[in-house]
Amino acid sequence: MSSAALQREFAPVSETIAAPRPAHYRVAVVILNYRTPQLVIDCLASLASEVDPLRDVVVVVDNASGDDSVERIEAAIEQNHWTEWCQFIPSPDNNGFSAGNNLGCAAVAADYYLLTNSDTLFRPGAIEELLRGAAAHPQAAMLGPRLECLNGDPQVSCFKFHSPLSELIDAAATGPLTKLLSKFDVPRPVIDHSECYDWLGFPCVLVRSDVLRQVGPMDEGFFMYYEDVDYCRRIRRAGGEIRYWPAARVVHLGGQSSNMRELTAACKRRPKYFYAARARYYAKHFGHLGLWLANGLWMAGRVFSLAQEKFRGRPTHICDSQARDVWTNGWRPLTGPRR
């Protein structure tokens, strides 16, 4: 579907009456861009009829894209008369996913912060539905919508926490073992009713402002990946609930600002920052011994999958150099982001 068709489907652009911006908003939508200007424009188009210009704001942060993102996004905001409810922040540096979202959240005061990727499109009523969920469940620190493909097929977005045993499951990829250790398996089945989970994927999540004050900003030591599960662990540790709210529906196009999905599907080598983030997560929440245990259990699981490949001819699901990268990126996991 073309970009123009997406804009027609998700948000007919309408003029809004200019009004002074409030000092405090109901909802602040934060969109992080890195070299995906057209996706940002499409996302903004889907939000045009969803935000209330008198109570809500959208903050677009460009993470030092170095392409024509700044010019294209600024022009679209002006040409489509989105200036009443949209602010644009060009960051001088790309310090990663957490840093970009922290910058957007710090720019405005709001009751709720809706963190969303540039490759999302909001179905009608999605924001209001998330707010209804928040009102119905005041103990929920974070809520996430149903993520779906453009054709409406659901996507997995709810998870159990990563643990050393989940590394064994992932590396082995063996049905009987996965079934035996199912309570440690990270992805959870898609359901059609609201439920609490350990963590939600961050293509789109609604966070209460008091959570940001209590828990603090996202850990900028994660350049990209694992920052979402880390933040949810911190919320859960502080006593907050993480709730899935499928009545709100958001399209997630997926894999547009990173080639991680393509690399994994093709079993190509993942970037160093993925393994650095993994190491940081395990060392932070399980200690250095927990990180080494996770690595050891991954190696044990790899023995299972390798046997399947050698003796049953099963194709590999292991990425190039993964065994080496699991170990070599884990020696200094808490020293900050590494790209």
23, 70, 83, 90 from 64: Cα distances, Å: 27, 9, 21, 7
Cα separation, 333 vs 324, whole angstroms:
15
Looking at residue 327, what DSSP letter applies? H
Q: Is residue 332 left, alpha or beta, with left meaning phi > 0 and alpha meaning psi from -120 to 50? A: beta
Q: What are the residue boundaries of the structural domains of the chain, listed by start?
A: 3-155+190-252, 260-328
**Amino acid identity at 194:** S
Structure tokens at 272: 């160093």
Please tell me whether residue 263 adopts helix, strand or coil conformation: helix
Give per-10-residue mean pLDDT for the chain (339 aa): 49 45 91 96 98 97 96 97 96 95 97 97 98 98 97 97 97 94 96 98 97 95 96 97 98 77 87 94 95 96 93 91 87 58
For domain 3-155+190-252, which CATH number applies: 3.40.50.300, 3.40.50.970, 3.90.550.60, 3.10.200.10?
3.90.550.60
- Nearest to 54, CA basis, from 23, 92, 80: 23
Of the candidates 119, 123, 98, the one whose C-alpha atom is nearest the C-alpha of residue 223 is: 98
State CA 159 to chain mean position distance.
12
| Amino acid 17: pLDDT | 41
DSSP H or E segment with residue 10: helix 3-10
- pLDDT for the residue numbered 339: 52
What is the per-residue pLDDT across 322-336, written as a single tens digit (0 to 9) for each?
999 999 876 666 665
